[in-house]
Amino acid sequence: MKTYEKSAGFFPVFERKSGPAKDATHYCPGCGHGNVHKMIAEALNDLGLIDRSVFVSPVGCSVFGYYYFNCGNFQAAHGRAPAVATAVKRTNPQAIVISYQGDGDLAAIGTAETIHTANRGENICVFFVNNAIYGMTGGQMAPTTMIGQRSTTTPHGRIEALHGNPIRMAEMLATLPAPTYIERVAIGDSKHIMKARKAIRKALTIQAEGRGYSFVEIVSACPTGWKMDPVHSRDWLIEEMLKVFPLGVFKDESENRDENSWLRRCDAYDPAKVDEYLDRLKSTLGDAAPVALTNDLHCKFAGFGGQGILTLGLLLSQIGMRAGQHVSWFPAYGPEMRGGTANCSVNVCGGRIGTPLVDTPNLLVVMNQPSLDAFADQVIDGGTIIIDSTIVEGRLDSTRLRQVLIPATAIADEVGTAKVANVVVLGALVAATDCFPREFCEDTLRAAIKKRSLVDMNIDAFGRGYEFVKNAR
Amino acid sequence: MAEKTALDVPFMEVNSELCKGCQLCLAACPKSVIAISEKLNSSSYHPAFYTGAECTGCGLCFYACPEPGAIRVYKP
């Protein structure tokens, strides 16, 4: 006895839809996506994989995959599904991860992700639904649109000289050494469909057995975009599309790959090893009991490239980290190593940090004039601006901000090198905010500065900056 | 020999509310035992229906149908 019916791989009810047919998909009549969805859901359920599967939906008509598949779901930015799938797989090696994409998503917007994910041989399945058009947005030309094929952006048909040739992704990816299995199938007649079903099951089995990357291209119909009725669209697919996109297996290394072929790659990305590395990073700063933070700091540090602006941000972050606080450091700089402008955002907070960006700082450090001009207005009322008065001639006439002037570069020259001006500023910052005790900061600096010969000079610079501000009060 | 019961006979059935009337099941059916209703469903489609005899339970209409819940096929 056998019953063909809606697979348990689908949710019983599709919450997406309003209206009478609540359990129907949002797809147009005759759309190939529904067929592919059915085969994937059936395979995941039959192979016993559904409970550990993660379906990554793309942008395109199949963006709502997460309303249908009764498993873990992600919805990726346009074209980035294989990158998201890579992350899911590497952080959850036991998960069965599916990157489901259309031709606009996979072959145009996400070409880079597509190729590099295949090239790394990630142990995932990519199901590529190729209907030769941008379906969701109304039928524009896609990379897979065929020569002569009309679309809204090629109303007289695609022309090779103007638009290039359709891209054959399966053939292209088959030239790479890493992929395990690459096949092109079609949702044409029943024979094609049953072959497609087999290919999908094979790809999922390969992943479940840890044998590596599979890519199944599924040539599919878009009756609405093609302006045809569903039955005619399947005929047209068989007659026209299969000439340009021939069916077949382009690569099959599944017999030559075992579980270890992928695990060897996966080992390098063991999450435990990443944690271990981060712990090691922490421990190089020396163990310390948590130190209370007086006020959350949301800082912007800005100046010329080469002044040590980014390092200043890192040092404060390390002090906060060693104190057991939440920290973030986010740099922004131009291509110049020196002479350009650089800034970084630093958060040091008692609680979790939502975003590493600091758009409205409560503390601004400026080490050149353009930075003062650019960022002073962003500081919140009652905030503090620390200005390297050796370099910055401008002063604020604002009373809404606290202004701390310190000739950091001149002090650094006295210490021995202008390079430690950033550490002079750090001393001034700690003195001006009383964020952490002086000794605690100095201990952290001793651990954080890698070159032992430079430790004393930096401690000196820090102390002078600190004293300058304390004495000026 | 026992009399044939309903469970000994293969059949297909269409959930007429979920059917979008694309007719791909008609094209896929080797026995041509599926037809299109003259009535409209609540979503304004003419749904497919089983004409009532000679279904072999092959399941091809099920895989031809893009809609997960629209067709059910029973094969003894």
> How far apart are alpha carbons B70 and A34 in whole angstroms?
11
Pairing mode, strands B11-14 and B71-75: antiparallel
Residue A109: partners with Cβ closer than 8 Å, 6 or more residues away: A59, A78, A79
Q: What is the mean pLDDT of residues A377-383?
A: 95
| pLDDT number for residue A402 | 94
Question: CB-CB: which of A34, A197, A230 is closest to B68?
Answer: A34
Pairing mode, strands B11-14 and B34-36: unpaired
Q: Using the predicted structure, report yes or no on whether residue A29 has a pLDDT greater than 80.
A: yes
Give the domain CATH number at A384: 3.40.920.10
A370: its two tokens? 């353009």
Most A CBs within 10 Å, among B67, B72, B75, to test the A interface: B67
Q: What is the mean pLDDT of residues A141-156?
A: 95
| pLDDT number for residue A103 | 96
> CA dihedral defined by A459, A460, A466, A467, rounded to 10 degrees?
150
Cβ atoms A128, A200 nearer than 8 A = no
Q: How many CB atoms lie within 10 A of CB A151?
A: 21
Question: CB-CB: which of A19, A33, A234 is closest to B24?
Answer: A234
> How far apart are alpha carbons B11 and B58 in whole angstroms?
9
| pLDDT number for residue A150 | 94
Indicate whether A65 and A208 sit together in one domain. Answer: yes
| pLDDT number for residue A82 | 98
Q: What is the mean pLDDT of residues A186-200?
A: 98
| Complex ipTM value | 0.94
Record: contact B73-A32, CB cut-off 8 A: no
Indicate whether A294 and A415 sit together in one domain. Answer: yes
Pairing mode, strands A72-75 and A248-252: unpaired
Candidate from A150-164, A195-209, A321-335, B56-70 with smallest mean pLDDT:
A321-335
pLDDT band at A360 (very low <50, low <70, confident <90, very high): very high
Q: Using the predicted structure, report yes or no on whether residue A432 has a pLDDT greater than 90.
A: yes
| DSSP string over B13-41 | EE-TTT-----HHHHH-TT--EEE-SS--
A34: its two tokens? 């529904």
Q: What is the mean pLDDT of residues A347-374?
A: 93
Record: contact B67-A24, CB cut-off 8 A: yes
Pairing mode, strands A72-75 and A2-4: unpaired
Is any Cβ of chain A less than 8 angstroms from the Cβ of B21?
yes
| pLDDT number for residue A396 | 82
Taking only the tens place, the pLDDT of each residue in A267-325 is 666 778 777 877 776 677 777 788 888 889 999 999 988 889 999 999 999 999 999 99
| pLDDT number for residue A265 | 63
Taking only the tens place, the pLDDT of each residue in A412-424 is 999 999 999 999 9
| pLDDT number for residue B24 | 97
Using a CB-CB distance cutoff of 8 angstroms, which residues of chain B are in contact with residue A27? 66
| pLDDT number for residue A97 | 98
| pLDDT number for residue A336 | 61
Question: CB-CB: which of B24, B65, B70 is closest to A231?
Answer: B24
Q: Give SS3 for A346.
A: strand
Using a CB-CB distance cutoff of 8 angstroms, which residues of chain B are in contact with residue A21? 17-18, 41-43
Cβ atoms B41, B47 nearer than 8 A = yes
Asked, for residue A16, whether it belongs to a domain, the answer is no
Indicate whether A126 and A245 sit together in one domain. Answer: yes
Distance of CA B54 to the CA centre of its chain: 12
Q: Which of A380, A385, A377 is nearest to A428 (CA)?
A: A385
Asked, for residue A410, whether it belongs to a domain, the answer is yes
A421: its two tokens? 């001006």
| pLDDT number for residue A434 | 94
Asked, for residue A190, whether it belongs to a domain, the answer is yes
Q: Which fold has domain B6-74?
A: Alpha-Beta Plaits (3.30.70)
Using a CB-CB distance cutoff of 8 angstroms, which residues of chain A are in contact with residue B64? 35, 190, 193
Indicate whether A142 and A86 sit together in one domain. Answer: yes
Looking at chain B, the number of H-run helices and the number of E-run strands are: 2, 4
Closest chain A C-alpha to B57 CA, distance in angstroms:
9
Q: What are phi and psi of A4, to 5 degrees?
A: -95, 115
Indicate whether A402 and A334 sit together in one domain. Answer: yes
> How far apart are alpha carbons A265 and A290 in whole angstroms?
38
More confident residue, A394 or A223: A223
For A333, counting Cβ atoms within 10 Å of its Cβ (0-12 exposed, 13-18 middle, 19+ buried), the class is middle
Q: How many CB atoms lie within 10 A of CB A260?
A: 12
> How far apart are alpha carbons A239 and A242 in whole angstroms?
6
Cβ atoms A17, A68 nearer than 8 A = no
Record: contact A29-B60, CB cut-off 8 A: no
Mean pLDDT of chain A: 92
| pLDDT number for residue A294 | 83
Q: What are the structural domain ranges in chain B?
A: 6-74
In B, residues 24-63, which contact A (CB 8 Å cutoff)? 24, 26-28, 41-43, 45, 57, 59-60, 62-63
Indicate whether A262 and A391 sit together in one domain. Answer: no
| Domain stops at, among A231, A251, A267 | A267
pLDDT band at A262 (very low <50, low <70, confident <90, very high): low
The total number of residues written for chain B in this structure: 76
Using a CB-CB distance cutoff of 8 angstroms, which residues of chain A are in contact with residue B18? 21, 23-24
For residue A265, what are the CA distances in angstroms to A63, A121, A258, A262, A269?
A: 30, 9, 12, 5, 8
Give the ranges where A348-420 is alpha helix by DSSP (H).
Answer: 369-375, 408-415
Q: Which of B21, B58, B57, B47 is nearest to A191 (CA)?
A: B58
Give the domain CATH number at A94: 3.40.50.970
Indicate whether A212 and A325 sit together in one domain. Answer: no
Residue A457: partners with Cβ closer than 8 Å, 6 or more residues away: A415, A416, A417, A420
Question: CB-CB: which of A3, A19, A30 is closest to B43?
Answer: A19
Domain residues for A419? 275-472
| pLDDT number for residue A306 | 83
Closest chain A C-alpha to B34 CA, distance in angstroms:
14
What is the tally of structural domains in chain A? 2
- The most distant pair of C-alpha atoms in chain B lies apart, rounded to whole Å, by 47
| pLDDT number for residue A335 | 66
Asked, for residue A13, whether it belongs to a domain, the answer is no
Cβ atoms A12, A69 nearer than 8 A = no
What secondary structure letter does DSSP report for A389? T
Q: Using the predicted structure, report yes or no on whether residue B1 has a pLDDT greater than 60.
A: no
pLDDT over 70, % of chain A: 95
Residue A466: partners with Cβ closer than 8 Å, 6 or more residues away: A427, A428, A430, A431, A438
Segment holding A468, helix H or strand E: helix A455-472
